[in-house]
Structure 1
Amino acid sequence: MDLSGTSIGVVGALKAFPLRSAAKRLADRGARVHRGLPRGTTMAVFCRSLLSRLGPGEIEGRVAAARESAAELRSESGLMRLIGLSTTAAPGTLPQQSLLDQSGLSETSLDMLALFDAFEHDRAPFSFRDLILAKKYAGLIASGAGWHDIARSLHAVGPVGSLTALTLEARGERILALDAHSLAELDGQRLLPLPEQDDEAEDYFSHAEVAEQAGLFAEAATLYAHCAAIDPSDATAPFNEGNCRRELGELDAALLAYAVSLKRDPAFVESWFNCAGVLRDLGRIEAARTHLRRAIEIDPAYADAVYNLAALDYDTNNLPDAAAGWRRYLELDDTSDWARRARAGIALVAQIRSQAG
């Protein structure tokens, strides 16, 4: 499948294979891959590893945010099928509404379970086996289980279609399988787990995110640098390192990190933008202007870049371009505080030019 122009953001660590292996396959099909969901992401992939790290509320929040910014959401198995590493056992024929009506699952539960590979398909049309599973999951939820409990219990299981022959039972946060011989947890020896490989880079990345959120920018920068060194295809880790270096006032180191990010992905628009900010702080105005123009060239609707370029033109007394830039900004955003500032900037330029005669 040709994926030219697709920008794929991966949230969490892939369980079945390292991200860099997936990135290579996807690059061969014309796609770009990032950890997280940077600007311009067109497909968001949610990994099953999140189930062991995050609670249901936080995951649902991340999924909701992704739906606003990405055109398409995929599960981990959905990504594997997309690049030919996995096939669907049975073709789907059931639309989503039919599955909802016949199973009794809520739309949210169905969406989350599908996104975390609790069915043979991660999207409609679904198969008859998916319908059987949906009815079983609805029964578990009626017994007090949540979609997160179900998905977490299933994530280490082989083909989920094998569960259709078992009776599932909720015991607190555990989902148990009952057959004619015994009762066992789903991740026990009865079912074959998916082969897994540790992604050391993702471990560093996860710890770095926690450190950055806590304001421990030096520790976060070091961890992001380790991540970047382990996975030479990853442009997000050096971008994040650059952000942390900038917070620490290490502007030259930040520039170097952004340069690594842009070398790995020349279309990473946020790297161009943030690098422009550092260049401006260092007094390298023309270089900052070039980087902002490049960001706008990649993403003409990037309002922040349009505003900052106009502000840079104003600071360097390039008044006509500043006013034109702020007018362009107002085409993208005419309601925020920044829009108010843009209007004030246009008025100030008009006043200065009027006074100059």
Structure 2
Amino acid sequence: MAVAGQTFGIVGALAAFPRRLATREVERQGGHLRRGVTRRTSHLVFGRGLLAKASEAQIEARFDTETGQGRFLLSENGFLRLLGLLRSPETSTLTRQALIDQSRLSPRTFDFLSLFDAFEHAAEPYSFRDLILARKYADLIASGAPWSAIARSVSRSRSVASLARLSLHHEGSDIIYVRGGEGLSELDGQLLFDLGTPDDIELDDLFSQAEAAEADGLYDEAAALYQRCLAIDPTDPVAAFNRANCLKAGGRQLEAAHEYARALKLDPSFVEAWFNLAGLMGDRGRVDAARRHLQKAIELDGDYADAIFNLAKLEFDAGNLTEARRRWARYLELDSDSEWARTAARGVQFVDLQFIGKTGGRNA
């Protein structure tokens, strides 16, 4: 799988290696790495820090959303191996289905555990040691352990492969224990490539806080937190874009326009920034600017249905009926079932009736 031309996103703090190392390597190989998720995100890394910040239900919901969008999900180790920064263990011949069949883990649980590097391999082919681990995890699940507790405990282990030789237990808590000569002890140890810095940790934590505040409608607080993110990393277009959205939601339109412009200066291919800036320009009556920004968004992403619909409406309001019809017809190629589609269909019908009226019903 090539890195060049792909856009990577990260949710949750990276625990195994510093984000700036990953950013540098992705850029070197011709790809792009961004915080959060945009329309152009093709690959999404689930950082192990997410286990400490989100509930099991929240992680599962995020997993379902992202897979539903067709994104390729990666664990931290899977990301490292894709970048060529971590060798794959040898002697791996088993398929994902073979591990599921022979361990009795459900496919969904298996995928969550794999996404947080609970196995020696991040993807197939898997090893016999992975099968042993899968069977141990299945026994823990059967005893009442949630998959997130297993992933959280395993992430603290010095070596996942070494767990295949140990006796793992779950006793009514969200902690997995190892039984040894002196009784039960928690899994603990240094994380692989534990090279994170306080700045990395602070930035990831600030970004997560900002996203949470934004989701709760605390736009001024979220804007301030995103500003702190930008103070640490002024090259982050997603933080600038998110801050612009918060400023716009808080009624601070001029500031929002400046932040959208900053996001686009940092990443001229940021489709959503072109789209949202177009909306802002339209709200302020700057129709020509809104048209240019929507056209740019569509130029970058020809399947961006929302941008196509908005441009059709803009052209219709401006009296450019032929162009409005063309855009609505294109929208209907992408969406034929929603309320927006019904509006687009009515728009096409209205324009056709206008043309029939002008020609007196005669064929051209």
TM-score normalised by the shorter chain: which range applies? over 0.9
2: distance between equivalents of 1:16 and 1:264?
27
User: In the alignment, is residue 160 of structure 1 matched against residue 151 of structure 2?
Assistant: no
- Tell me, yes or no, if the aligned pair for 2:278 and 2:291 is still in contact at 8 Å: yes
- The residue matched to 1:177 in structure 2 has which SS? strand
Give 1:192's aligned amino acid. Q
Partner in structure 1 of residue 187 of structure 2: 186
1: distance between equivalents of 2:263 and 2:82?
26
- The residue matched to 1:93 in structure 2 has which SS? strand
RMSD: 1.7
Count of residues in correspondence between the two structures: 354
> Cα offset for 1:183?
2.4
Q: 1:137 to 1:174 in 2, by over 3 A?
A: same
- The residue matched to 1:254 in structure 2 has which SS? helix
Partner in structure 2 of residue 74 of structure 1: 74
> Cα offset for 1:138?
1.0
Between 1:120-129 and 1:33-42, the stretch displaced more is 33-42
Q: 1:127-158: per-residue Cα shift (whole Å, max 9, x none)? A: 11111111111111111111111001111223
- The residue matched to 2:4 in structure 1 has which SS? coil
User: In the alignment, is residue 131 of structure 1 matched against residue 135 of structure 2?
Assistant: no
Give 1:34's aligned amino acid. R
Q: 1:183-207: per-residue Cα shift (whole Å, max 9, x none)? A: 21002xxx33341434222111111
Matches within 5 A, 1:5-24: 5-24=5-24
Give 2:3's aligned amino acid. L
Partner in structure 1 of residue 96 of structure 2: 96
Q: 1:40 to 1:137 in 2, by over 3 A?
A: same
Q: 1:232 to 1:23 in 2, by over 3 A?
A: farther
- The residue matched to 2:123 in structure 1 has which SS? coil
User: In the alignment, is residue 312 of structure 1 matched against residue 310 of structure 2?
Assistant: no
Identity %: 47
Partner in structure 1 of residue 146 of structure 2: 146
Matches within 5 A, 1:1-357: 2-171=2-171, 172-187=173-188, 191-194=189-192, 195=194, 196-198=196-198, 199-355=201-357
- Tell me, yes or no, if the aligned pair for 1:20 and 1:231 is still in contact at 8 Å: no
- The residue matched to 2:34 in structure 1 has which SS? strand
Give 1:76's aligned amino acid. E
> Cα offset for 1:348?
2.5
1: distance between equivalents of 2:262 and 2:274?
11
- The residue matched to 1:10 in structure 2 has which SS? strand
Give 1:183's aligned amino acid. L
Give 2:187's aligned amino acid. L
Q: 1:7-57: per-residue Cα shift (whole Å, max 9, x none)? A: 112111111334333122101111122222211321111111111111111
- Tell me, yes or no, if the aligned pair for 1:43 and 1:72 is still in contact at 8 Å: yes
Give 1:193's aligned amino acid. L
> Cα offset for 1:318?
1.2
Structure 2 length-normalised TM: 0.92
Give 1:229's aligned amino acid. A
User: Structure 1, unaligned stretches of length 5 or more?
Assistant: none
2: distance between equivalents of 1:300 and 1:124?
34
Q: 1:192 to 1:12 in 2, by over 3 A?
A: closer
Partner in structure 1 of residue 362 of structure 2: none
- Tell me, yes or no, if the aligned pair for 1:16 and 1:197 is still in contact at 8 Å: no
Q: 1:274-304: per-residue Cα shift (whole Å, max 9, x none)? A: 1111111122222211111111111111100
> Cα offset for 1:115?
0.3
> Cα offset for 1:350?
3.1
Give 1:214's aligned amino acid. D
Give 1:50's aligned amino acid. L
2: distance between equivalents of 1:246 and 1:20?
30
> Cα offset for 1:353?
4.2
Q: 1:151-173: per-residue Cα shift (whole Å, max 9, x none)? A: 01111223200111211111221
> Cα offset for 1:228?
2.2
2: distance between equivalents of 1:142 and 1:167?
15
1: distance between equivalents of 2:102 and 2:315?
61
Between 1:218-227 and 1:80-89, the stretch displaced more is 80-89
- The residue matched to 2:66 in structure 1 has which SS? helix
Q: Which runs of 4+ in 1 moved over 4 A?
A: 353-357
- Tell me, yes or no, if the aligned pair for 2:3 and 2:83 is still in contact at 8 Å: no
- Tell me, yes or no, if the aligned pair for 1:20 and 1:234 is still in contact at 8 Å: no
> Cα offset for 1:104?
1.6
> Cα offset for 1:351?
3.7
1: distance between equivalents of 2:63 and 2:235?
25
- Tell me, yes or no, if the aligned pair for 2:10 and 2:45 is still in contact at 8 Å: yes
> Cα offset for 1:2?
4.1
> Cα offset for 1:224?
1.0
Give 1:54's aligned amino acid. A
2: distance between equivalents of 1:235 and 1:146?
36
- Tell me, yes or no, if the aligned pair for 1:113 and 1:151 is still in contact at 8 Å: yes
